[in-house]
Structure 1
Amino acid sequence: MKKRFLLPLALCVSGAFDSAQAQSSLRLYGIVDNGIEFQNGGQGSVVRAVSSGLFATVYGLRGSEDIGGGYRVNFQLEQGFSGVTGAATDSTAAWNRLAWVGMSGPFGELRIGRQKKPEYLFLNGEIDPTAVKSIASPINNFQDVTVRASNAIAYFAPTIYGLSTQAMISLRDQTMKPSNGLHFYNVVARYVNGPFRMSAGYESQGNATGSSVQKVWRAAAGYRAGHLRVYLAYQSERQTDNSENRDIYEASMSYLLDPFNLVSVMYGYAHDRAGQGKNAQQIGLTYEYFLSKATSLYAAAGLIDNHGQANYTLDGTQYSGIPTAPGAYARGIVLGMTHKF
């Protein structure tokens, strides 16, 4: 009698488990980007092995559960590391890039935790062909901003007639003074109409001591014609203690020569409005050869013409450039391979 009861129960539990599994998904993903780089910042040259020359080298977990009615529970965990040493980019954090959970549905999407700011998650792909990555991107080298926020709450609104919007706030914690209250807020919008794209965003972020606030404006416009894509971008950075007052302008384009070859060229100018004599301009070039859908070879090069006291350097996607002498040229090239899984 007991066996007759247990067998149907086991079958029911097994079926419920299979049904739950069918409604959930979990994916391990990652990127390994390694290369060899040459850089000279006016104080000597260096040849070195680098990781994250074009794409950030990461691994992560992305999951989603369908809970019915068009609603899903989502999460993402992501860690950055060096593909040439194996070391974590931040040894103090198990998931130093992303660690959030949230819900999506007809209302849009809500995320809570450490995540990339909408200003960069949403707009970087609209600013230049590299999505503001590598030594070739002028804005990547000229800007002084943070990309991610902890203790964050983000909202992604549904796209309506080509218009998409995102917003985020983040809260202070015990590592800051004051240790409570609002630390950061951001709002961005993008409009797409056929080949035309326009986007803009604003963010305000206090420093760790609460003594100053950085305010950043971004705007970009783009046009696609066949295999050609053209970008125009503007970014301003202001610090309320007047330690920073900078405008950055960039014009760039990319062209897909054929399914295997993509070339991009970028020009940027940084205008120092703080009177510190730190203007600079840069030309950047990238070439990508697609071996497959998952693997590509690339070359990225940059030349910065620093003026006066400016000492901008060539930063990789997930590493810093070498020190540059004030007023000197910073020049470099990285040859690498990227594999995505």
Structure 2
Amino acid sequence: MGRTFVFLPPLRTVSGGLAVLAAVAAGLATLGHNVRLVLRDPAAPPLALPPGLPTVGLAETGLTPDDVYLVPEGWPNALAPGLAVGARCLVYCQNWAYLWNGLPDGVGWDQLPVTFLAVSDPVARFIAQATGTLPPVLRPAIDPARFYPPPAKPALGPVRVGYMPRKNKALAAMIRRLAEARMARTGISYEFAPIDGLSPDGVAEVLRGCHIFLATGFPEGCPLPPLEAMACGCVVAGFAGFGGFDYMRQARSGGHVPSVPLRPIAWGGNGFYAGDNDVFAAGACLEQAARLWLDGGGELAAVLESARLTAAAYGPGEQQAALARIWKEPGAL
């Protein structure tokens, strides 16, 4: 195998997906691969680049047929330098909903000599449904040195709920209003903590001070904020975005059952999940999570332990092992 080129899209703000691409490039370099970052404008990188990795412009990549060229979904035009020379072009799909973004009308993936890499098992199954081929899975990683539980959660006066307003803002507001409208009848008092515009360390600090994380994002490929919340000792409630069912499992029976088959995992129920866009059910999930904290006991301890095991399965070591396996397997790329 030759070199590996990783295209970093010219986004205005640093997204989770962009950070994952940079982490993949750094991980491959750590494994001894010859890695180069491809930028549309090397003079204006879209994020702080991993140290020590050379950069090349999109117009002068120097790709050869022996090289691997990794491009995220949604940027098919960036594949052009690799397709032109017959490089092994690999599309890393981090969100199933963007699989066909950017492709011209009348052009399908079956017409292009590319292979796929999926960010989660649900995304891999979606790609298989669309293309007939099940791709390998490369999951993202969270940083355990940054996302970890506090010695103790805040005392239960109000139940403190962290959420990200940018994730389906109107629906998040509706779920919050529903919970607040029911407080007099449920006896549950909430304090909502918006997580917006913070550094990763700031996000972790807020999560450590919360009992619940309200997940309002969809569609998702393998959502990192709920994983980070689990690592910080929160019970997650809300939406899975389809891709979240790579790791999300219902804490109680009778909840939403996803249409995608669920892979075997080594943990039990780690939260309360509604069907995407179902505000009624998401409100009930939030209330179940709050009751769990207020009641305490063995059920709360079991859910928190499952959440801890879930987060531990998405560490940097697990991602490195997957990278080593995928870049070594004949025919995987």
Q: TM-score range by the shorter chain?
A: under 0.3
TM-score, normalisation: structure 1: 0.23
Structure showing the higher helix proportion among its residues: 2
Highest RCO, 1 vs 2 (Cα 8 Å, sep ≥ 6): 1
TM-score, normalisation: structure 2: 0.23
Q: Give the number of the structure whose alpha-carbon radius of gyration is greater.
A: 1
